[in-house]
Each structure stands twice: as C-alpha cells, then as structure tokens.
Amino acid sequence: MDLTVEWGQVHALLGENGAGKSTLMNVVYGLSRPDSGEIVFDGNPVSIGSPQDAIKLGIGMVHQHFMLIPPLSVAENVILGNEIATGPGIVDIRSAEAKVAELSKKYGLEVDPAARVEDLSVGLQQRVEILKALYRGARLLILDEPTAVLTPQEARGLFDIVRTLVKDGAAVIFITHKLGEVMDVADQITVMRRGKVEATTSPKESNPADLARLMVGRSVLLRVDKSEAKPGAVLLEVKGLTVYDDRHQVAVNDMSLEVRAGEILGIAGVEGNGQNELVEAIVGLRTPRSGSIILGGRDITQASTHSTLEAGLGFIPADRQRMGIVLELPIADNLVLSRFDRKPFANWIVRSFSAVREYALKLIKTFDIRAESPDQPSGSLSGGNQQKLVVAREIGTQPKVLLASQPTRGVDVGSIEFIHRRLVEERDNGMGVLLVSSELDEVLSLADRLAVVYRGRVVAMLDQKEADRDRVGLLMAGAA
C-alpha cells in the first residue's frame, strides 16, 4: 500500500479492526520490519529498524494501550531514557519538571509534572504519552486509537491539542474507526480494508455513510434497528446500594434500579460518577457498604465473582485487556474461561480439548472474530477482535442478565453494528441487559429505559421516548 502524509495536516487512517492500520504504523515507528517497499521521510529515503531510529528522525507514537510506568511521576515518565543528569547517576528532576511544565503550557497539555501517573485519569495519562513524544522532538505524531478510552469531553480536549500541533507545522496520523471524529478533526482521510488502501478522500468530499461503506465493504446501519421491548419479570434488583471507591469515599450513594427480562436498561453518566464501582459491586469485585443486590431471586450482595457468574450473570468488562481476556492464552481457552471445568469442556479433572476447539470454531464464525486459528494467542488479535471475543464468550454462556460495560469501546462501525444487533437479539430472547456506556448516543439508541447517574445517585429514570439528548446531557452534568 501507498500513503502520503503532508506537514501541517491531520491525516486520519480509517479502517475496521484488523484492517492493518496499527501494523502499518508499527512499521513506520520501527516496531515491525517491512518485507518490501520504502519509506520517504522529509524527502529522503530512510531505513527505520527500531523506535530509536524513528525518534531520531522526529517520529513519535502514542499507543492505544499506554506505555507508562504507574509508580513514577509525570516528569520521570516523560524523560525516561533521555534523562537530564547533574552528575553520574543523578537525575535533575527539578529541571525535568520545569521543562515538562513549559512543554505542557506551550501545547495546552495541562498536567502536573510532579503527579504520580497511577493517580491520573486515562485522559491525563494520554497527555503524558503525547508529552513524552514531544519531549523527544517529534514532528510527526502517530496517535493509535487515541479516543478509545476517553470520555467525550477528554476527546474534545485531545482534538484541540491536535489542532495546536498541526498549526505549529507538525503532522499527525490519527488511527481510528470513529467516523464522527474523522469528520471533526481530519484534513485528509485514507480508508484501509484488509491491508489495502480502499480510498483517499477528505471530510469535504465524503460523509459518514460513504466512509462506513468503504471500511466494511457494504452499507452499514449507523443507527440501532429494534422493535419495542416487551419487558417481563425483574431479573436484577439493586436496592439502596452504597459503595465506596478506592479512597474510601462514597462512589455509589443509596442507588436503586431494576433490570427486567426482555429489556435493556442503560446507565447514562459522565465517567467517574460511580458507574465503575456499581459494576464492580454487582460482579462481586467490590463489597458494598450497605444495600442489596438480587439476581434471579438470589441475594448475591456478598457473593464471590465465581458464585455471581454461576447465578446467571454475564459480564463484559470495560477494560478487555486487564479484565476480559488472558492475552497469553489461546482464543479457544479464552472462549471457555468462565466454564472450562464444566461439561462438555471437562469431565471432572479431565479436559476435552476437542470440545473446546469445536465450540471455539463455532463462536469464531458466529461472531466474525478475525483469527487464523483458535490456537493463536488472544494477544495477537486486534483490539476490536479481542472485544468480539469477550462478547462472544459472555453471550455464549446464555446468562439471565448481561452486564455490558462499554461493550463497543475501541471497535469499528461494522463490529458496533454487529454487537448492537446481538444485544437486541438477546433482549428479544428474554435476557435482561444492563448497559453502561460513556457514549451517550449508544445509550440513547440502544436502551429501552435510561437511568441517568450523577455523583453516585440515579437523578432520573426515563423511558426511551422521553430521553431527549439535551435533557439527558443536562442531567448528566448535574442540572437536575
């Protein structure tokens, strides 16, 4: 494939999961070697054999999953490997902090140089990654799925930073599959499909529907097509739940809600308003201070995660890499992770590898997981295919209630359409779905009822018909 990027422009690299976007940029950054072809940088043919070669040329890359050391400070992370020393083995941390503060002020990347990275939000950690690249003199910045883990507000802040960089003469390659962002921030768009360039265009010459068709190779429904819900009995009941966060502050404050069979209950709220703690309490990863959680008539308030899953809960976690899959294990093992010790996959202590493989092949086909074989490590899949793996496993267990936390985070339009359709199908088959998403559009289009949360409380419970975007937005901001 051929790609031309110009200085002073944002060039979006658009494509579905597994299209080759990240692989191509890994070649440009020296993490992978090309088998043929050449790279011309600033008018000169160059050989990039390692990230050090790329950095010397002025190429920086911010990866989808950050490469930071949590216990170190912002300044220590930024200068790591390129330290300012006052003597043998002595790092001049004050000079480093001053330089980082100067850089962050220049580019509008406000972050405290002395703060520990582990104490920062995801959005601020991303700023540290960008600062790291700029500190090393990056003129071409590659951002790999930069908004996959950001709130809409953080994403808007990132776009402002990107515009500042290109105004300064830099070039930014923006790897994404989010059509709205491409229309918002890009000057040029290259669409990739299955490792090849499908088209090069610009926001003025195209629209989201055209781009989706080029990405996936067919027309994609950009809205959720579903019939009216027919809710049945209450399957999950949360009553007067109070949960503390890691700092022993109230995160979920006397919250009550119900999920019924055959409906999708969506939770709308700006991230950090107790959604994560609510999810962890329901799954059994965090002990509530008070209140109760009833699943299918069984009290699971103090139950372990294993017992909760046994009771009929399916769980799609927000962070697929930390909580959803074991990266080193094969795809087949990950697909039976919650029931590898039960029939038909095992008979007492003897595992049936043929049954596991057969089941994996079926799910790979049903959920269109792009993989060469069920035996390849799950970590070798693209981010979106890892997400499909998690969704396939959880829906495959046929739970009473599916707790879907950010189910489409970091996946392309074709996969989003597929996951949404599957959630609606499971709803129509009588499953209860509790949807937690930071994408307001997703909640508004998928949910049959909406619980708007603010500071750990449900401030409004709305039917889909009365859930107006502006009204929900105001409620999310605390203007009840």
pLDDT at 480: 59
Query: Is residue 210 in a domain?
Result: yes
Euclidean distance between CA atoms 447 and 443, whole angstroms: 5
pLDDT at 140: 92
Q: How confident is the model over 281-286, as a mean pLDDT?
A: 94
Is the pLDDT at 339 greater than 70, yes or no? yes
Residues 8-48 have pLDDT tens digits of: 999 999 887 778 888 899 999 999 999 999 999 989 999 99
Q: How confident is the model over 226-241, as a mean pLDDT?
A: 92
Query: Is residue 225 in a domain?
Result: no
Yes or no: say if 62 and 143 are a contact pair by the CB < 8 Å rule: yes
Residues 367-415 have pLDDT tens digits of: 888 888 999 999 988 777 898 999 999 999 999 999 999 898 777 777 8
Q: What is the mean pLDDT of the chain?
A: 88
Is the pLDDT at 216 greater than 90, yes or no? no
Same domain, residue pair 434 and 378: yes
Query: Is residue 355 in a domain?
Result: yes
Euclidean distance between CA atoms 411 and 153, whole angstroms: 19
Residue type for position 391: V
Query: Is residue 2 in a domain?
Result: no
Same domain, residue pair 289 and 338: yes
Same domain, residue pair 206 and 247: no
Q: How confident is the model over 69-82, as a mean pLDDT?
A: 88
Is the pLDDT at 345 greater than 80, yes or no? yes
Residue 221 banded pLDDT, cuts 50, 70, 90: low
- Give how far Cα 138 sits from Cα of 17, 67, 105, 117, 221, Å: 27, 17, 17, 22, 39
Q: How confident is the model over 412-434, as a mean pLDDT?
A: 89
Euclidean distance between CA atoms 387 and 451, whole angstroms: 25
User: How many angstroms separate the first and last alpha carbons of the chain?
Assistant: 52
Query: Is residue 54 in a domain?
Result: yes
Residues in CB range of 435: below 8 A, 6 or more apart? 264, 265, 266, 267, 404, 407, 423, 442, 443, 446, 447
Residues 251-270 have pLDDT tens digits of: 999 999 999 999 999 999 87
Same domain, residue pair 49 and 154: yes
pLDDT at 414: 77
- Residue ending a domain, choose from 187, 216, 245: 216
pLDDT at 95: 87
* Structure-token pair, residue 472: 């929900």
- Residue ending a domain, choose from 170, 190, 216: 216
Same domain, residue pair 92 and 240: no
Same domain, residue pair 71 and 180: yes
Same domain, residue pair 433 and 357: yes
Query: Is residue 3 in a domain?
Result: no
- Residue ending a domain, choose from 216, 243, 258: 216
Same domain, residue pair 183 and 266: no
pLDDT at 335: 94
Is the pLDDT at 281 greater than 80, yes or no? yes
Residues 102-115 have pLDDT tens digits of: 888 887 778 888 88
Euclidean distance between CA atoms 322 and 191, whole angstroms: 30
Half-sphere exposure of 73 (CA within 13 A, CB side): 14
pLDDT at 458: 94
Yes or no: say if 461 and 449 are a contact pair by the CB < 8 Å rule: yes
Residue 79 banded pLDDT, cuts 50, 70, 90: confident
Q: How many other CB atoms are found less than 10 A from the CB of residue 446?
A: 25
Query: Is residue 392 in a domain?
Result: yes
Residue 222 banded pLDDT, cuts 50, 70, 90: low
User: CA 9, 15, 18, 23: dihedral to nearest 10 degrees?
Assistant: -20
Same domain, residue pair 212 and 242: no
Is the pLDDT at 362 greater than 90, yes or no? yes
Query: Is residue 90 in a domain?
Result: yes
Residues 141-168 have pLDDT tens digits of: 998 888 766 656 667 878 888 888 899 8
| Secondary structure, 3-state, the chain | CCCCCCCCCEEEEEECCCCCHHHHHHHHCCCCCCCCCCEEECCEEECCCCHHHHHHHCEEEECCCCCCCCCCEHHHHHHCCCCCEEECCEECHHHHHHHHHHHHHHHCCCCCCCCEHHHCCHHHHHHHHHHHHHHCCCCEEEEECCCCCCCHHHHHHHHHHHHHHHHCCCEEEEEECCHHHHHHHCCEEEEEECCEEEEEECHHHCCHHHHHHHHHCCCCCCCCCCCCCCCCCEEEEEEEEEEECCCCCEEEEEEEEEEECCCEEEEECCCCCCHHHHHHHHHCCCCCCEEEEEECCEECCCCCHHHHHHCCEEEECCCHHHHHCCCCCEHHHHHCCCCCCCCCCEECCEECHHHHHHHHHHHHHHCCCCCCCCCCEHHHCCHHHHHHHHHHHHHHCCCCEEEEECCCCCCCHHHHHHHHHHHHHHHHCCCEEEEECCCHHHHHHHCCEEEEEECCEEEEEEEHHHCCHHHHHHHHCCCC
Same domain, residue pair 352 and 387: yes
Euclidean distance between CA atoms 96 and 75, whole angstroms: 6
> Count of domains in the chain?
2
Backbone CA torsion sign across 261, 262, 268, 272: positive
Euclidean distance between CA atoms 118 and 125, whole angstroms: 9
Which residue range is the domain that position 441 belongs to?
A: 234-476
Pair type for strands 90-91 and 85-87: antiparallel
**What are phi and psi for residue 254, nearest 5 degrees?**
55, 50
| Higher-pLDDT residue of 218, 172 | 172
Euclidean distance between CA atoms 10 and 12, whole angstroms: 6
| Higher-pLDDT residue of 340, 376 | 376
pLDDT at 152: 64
Rg of the chain over CA atoms, in angstroms?
23
Same domain, residue pair 101 and 205: yes
pLDDT at 59: 92
Euclidean distance between CA atoms 480 and 475, whole angstroms: 5
Residue 220 banded pLDDT, cuts 50, 70, 90: low
Same domain, residue pair 147 and 189: yes
pLDDT at 283: 95
CATH number of the structural domain spanning residue 374: 3.40.50.300
